[in-house]
Structure 1
């Protein structure tokens, strides 16, 4: 693949971006579709949450495992199998006749998505052996991934204004077919060049531990610390602890924990989690605010998300160029504090108006989101040798997917708790309260309680970003004193001569 012509390399990137866009988009495409799904399938409250979260949980819990599978058995093969599964799951979900079948097909889509992301990002290293071209390709990859999350609600809003709810899932099929036709022609098979035998216990414990831990957090956030939630959480923690301990003792670990010895790399991986958590929560709550509080149609609400999506995508595209000049660490710090500014712009929103503030908030925060998505992906691939690229990419994407899944579960549950405490206490959600007849004063109180919840979530996420940004500033300042040059084309993400790449291959042989 190192002899791939430039034209074929860029065509290969183009065909890979299709599934990447779909995987990201399907993490947010149901945000505006849930009212239509609820009307058609009448799911319970718990089933509604699982319709939203099951996809992200499946992707997040299996990314690390499938990153190693791709390293071992071939990334092209895994891409083809995963894309075909994703298409079948999309068709099944689009025509689901009940909430149980919709959840099952969403899980299948999540499993397929977990096969796609690490392999798609890792294959860029073989399509673009030149570091500068690879950085550009990764920037485009990150922009596509970011755009998928951002445009999911926009696409859903436009389709829902014309078609039935299943159309938001059925649009995946044409992209899947194009990939299955052209990928075999443009992509060569790539697998590890050294012994990468998969440790089956590690695969099973990483997947089971992450799934149990995420379920426990979600259940506790939504329903309190019940005995079952605590038991599941403890089981997940034990499995993850055993998994982590095992990785330091085997020859071919799924996760090279030595990478986290570099503080800059650690900050970057955490940065992969928190912005997605903040974005998914505020996008979900913002959609409810625009429709249920301000009374906008689903199509109009979707259009108001366009400026933020454009800014986010454009920023992800240009970030590699900017980071090459100012350094990726500086870009990380900028990302956090820009997101803080954007989140705080949500505070002037009110029950009587605030659409302009919402647009401004998403546009400003979109700069930070775009930077974070691009920089984290770049660091993940530059940090390791090519034969470990799938596993490293899986770490970065796992942070993203966990942030997307847990953002709604945690921040959304905080908003729901505040609504129950401050609202009229007639129904558990704003939509159900507004559906009650002849309750104009209560409806006003419900809208105010929902808006207050949005404000608290925005402030909480802003504080967390400010704290992480401050930590990043301290870490990077202490490491940049000997050398202030951070080059994206060499893999340098720290100063003082320390490179994340110095850990390459530590446990890979």
Structure 2
């Protein structure tokens, strides 16, 4: 009969009212940060009329924020581990508020692009700090899991309501008002943060390695730019060159980290199944959801003929139910191993993607909305759980870096899903549209219609008589075929993510337990275990990670399972 030895560690103290108020203070800037990703979508026409940017400048205005956030997440997460996460959060709040004011009152496209870039750097400072501080506020694993679910809910809600908030503000104010939302929120953070948020309990020694930081930022920016440029203008060669350069710099960065005693990114964390498999599962889930969401919204408008506002409103059920599922997930993992909750959620999402794929050609609003809602509700709770596994599996002193990794993984999944699924869908759309060749439509007009599905609808609507009706039908059926392919790929990707979670996360215990996971990744007897608890218990026992090399990170788990 085999027994599992538990670690002799202090019982963590449950969070009180002050910690939950601290969570509320952290949730507000998180919502604003994600809102800035989408809040400009409805403001683009009025902004264009005022500043008169070129097409390229407008694309940079819309996308530079996301690029810079992605580029600086890991570096700023690691910086917070060294100088203190609360201190970095306060610095980021000041910078974000200042850049928001500059953006709101920009008078040229160049000034707005520059201020949006500064907003992205500040956002990259704030996001990992808000997530990493939860590990200092909530020491009981079950409470931490729920707190991370609330954090994820705030992030998801902000991204979803961004266009709606922007639309309301534009009814009464000028386009710059969408940036000023952040100012009172950051002011509240600066006032309440020092009283409600603790400074990092443990900090990494030494200074930030600037060559590594530069290489990492450049690598991430090149990769994200390459992925997104495919969907922006279809320049495949430029995208491939950018991705190749990013991968090369990434390999140089990895080699440097492996040779350093105090690396910017501790690659030993990838030896933990909860960290590496959790990250892989998260990227697959985000890719499938983001790519499908982009195409479904276009389908609602261009194929089903809904206005942008109505299309947005029809996504509200998925958002509301997704938030509910995210908040329910921490309760569920008290009784079911997280691997099975994640796997079950992704399988559910694959059913929703399959529904969209099967019914795309039916041009049915009900089936499309139901299918996408099932997909969204299946994915959103898994993002909270995988984020918890990634952050919790790292030592407390590296929580900022782990938070940056989790958010960067989501950003890469977002960019990759939108790039590859949208590219595949558009390839099908263009092929089917050219093969249909409606009679009476000139070749030049057909070429214009093939550029985008929205452009195709516009060309069809200005083409009179039967040729216009035939072209409109061809545009809609061709895009439905493209959505069908993308949704099918999403379903396959989600099944792969579910398999990855079930196979490699089985030994990663529920955060509601305080037991310890052996290095094999599973006890084999069904006990729910917590890898993060083991690592942190080793730290609480004052194990010297830096002196013992892999021992503090990899050896402790193995000893606990003997």
Question: Quick one: distance in 2 between partners of 1:194 and 1:94?
Answer: 37
Match of 2:196 in 1: 186
Match of 2:393 in 1: 383
The reply to whether residue 465 of structure 1 matches residue 494 of structure 2 is: yes
Q: Alignment partner for residue 149 of structure 1, among 159, 166, 182?
A: 159
Q: Which is worse superposed, 258-267 or 166-175? A: 166-175
Q: Alignment partner for residue 114 of structure 2, among 104, 109, 116?
A: 104
Match of 2:353 in 1: 343
Q: Alignment partner for residue 514 of structure 2, among 485, 490, 502?
A: 490
Question: Quick one: distance in 2 between partners of 1:419 and 1:443?
Answer: 13
Q: Label 1:120 to 1:201 Cα distance change in 2 as closer, same or farther (>3 A).
A: same
Match of 1:236 in 2: 246
Asked whether the equivalents of residues 118 and 390 of structure 1 are also in contact (C-alpha less than 8 Å), the reply is yes
Q: Which is worse superposed, 151-160 or 122-131? A: 151-160
Q: Alignment partner for residue 448 of structure 2, among 418, 426, 432?
A: 426
State the 1:115 CA deviation: 0.6
State the 1:508 CA deviation: 5.0
The reply to whether residue 452 of structure 1 matches residue 470 of structure 2 is: no
Which 5+ residue runs of structure 2 have no aligned equivalent? 1-11, 434-445, 548-562
The reply to whether residue 214 of structure 1 matches residue 224 of structure 2 is: yes
State the 1:98 CA deviation: 5.3
The reply to whether residue 435 of structure 1 matches residue 458 of structure 2 is: yes
Asked whether the equivalents of residues 227 and 243 of structure 2 are also in contact (C-alpha less than 8 Å), the reply is yes
Question: Quick one: distance in 2 between partners of 1:288 and 1:66?
Answer: 35
TM-score (norm 2): 0.80
State the 1:160 CA deviation: 5.3
Question: Quick one: distance in 2 between partners of 1:58 and 1:229?
Answer: 17
Deviations for 1:210-247, whole angstroms, at most 9, x for unmatched residues? 11122233345653443x54443333222111111222
State the 1:131 CA deviation: 2.8
Match of 1:395 in 2: 405
State the 1:13 CA deviation: 1.1
Match of 2:552 in 1: none
Match of 2:531 in 1: 500
Q: What RMSD over aligned residues (CA atoms) do the two structures have, in Å?
A: 3.1
Q: 1:407-426 to 2 correspondence within 5 Å? A: 407-423=417-433, 424-426=446-448
Question: Quick one: distance in 1 between partners of 2:139 and 2:373?
Answer: 34
State the 1:476 CA deviation: 4.6
Question: Quick one: distance in 1 between partners of 2:427 and 2:102?
Answer: 34
Question: Quick one: distance in 2 between partners of 1:216 and 1:139?
Answer: 31
Q: Label 1:441 to 1:162 Cα distance change in 2 as closer, same or farther (>3 A).
A: farther
Deviations for 1:166-216, whole angstroms, at most 9, x for unmatched residues? 444443333223222322332233263442432222211111111112223
Asked whether the equivalents of residues 140 and 317 of structure 1 are also in contact (C-alpha less than 8 Å), the reply is yes
Deviations for 1:337-366, whole angstroms, at most 9, x for unmatched residues? 122112222235558743222321232122
Q: Alignment partner for residue 318 of structure 1, among 319, 324, 328?
A: 328
Deviations for 1:249-285, whole angstroms, at most 9, x for unmatched residues? 2222222222222334322101222222233323333
Question: Quick one: distance in 2 between partners of 1:225 and 1:358?
Answer: 30
Question: Quick one: distance in 2 between partners of 1:281 and 1:164?
Answer: 31
Q: Label 1:455 to 1:442 Cα distance change in 2 as closer, same or farther (>3 A).
A: same
Q: Whose radius of gyration is greater, 1 or 2?
A: 2
Q: Label 1:291 to 1:170 Cα distance change in 2 as closer, same or farther (>3 A).
A: farther
Q: Label 1:449 to 1:51 Cα distance change in 2 as closer, same or farther (>3 A).
A: farther
Question: Quick one: distance in 1 between partners of 2:58 and 2:357?
Answer: 28
State the 1:422 CA deviation: 2.8
Deviations for 1:80-107, whole angstroms, at most 9, x for unmatched residues? 2212322333344445555544433332
Question: Quick one: distance in 2 between partners of 1:132 and 1:278?
Answer: 28
Q: Label 1:173 to 1:216 Cα distance change in 2 as closer, same or farther (>3 A).
A: same
State the 1:399 CA deviation: 0.8
Which 5+ residue runs of structure 1 have no aligned equivalent? none
Secondary structure of the corresponding residue to residue 389 of structure 2:
helix
Q: Label 1:166 to 1:356 Cα distance change in 2 as closer, same or farther (>3 A).
A: farther
Q: Label 1:279 to 1:230 Cα distance change in 2 as closer, same or farther (>3 A).
A: closer
Q: What is the number of equivalent residue pairs in this alignment?
A: 502
Question: Quick one: distance in 1 between partners of 2:476 and 2:44?
Answer: 19
State the 1:112 CA deviation: 1.2
Deviations for 1:348-402, whole angstroms, at most 9, x for unmatched residues? 5558743222321232122222222211221122112211111111111111122
Match of 1:203 in 2: 213
The reply to whether residue 115 of structure 1 matches residue 125 of structure 2 is: yes
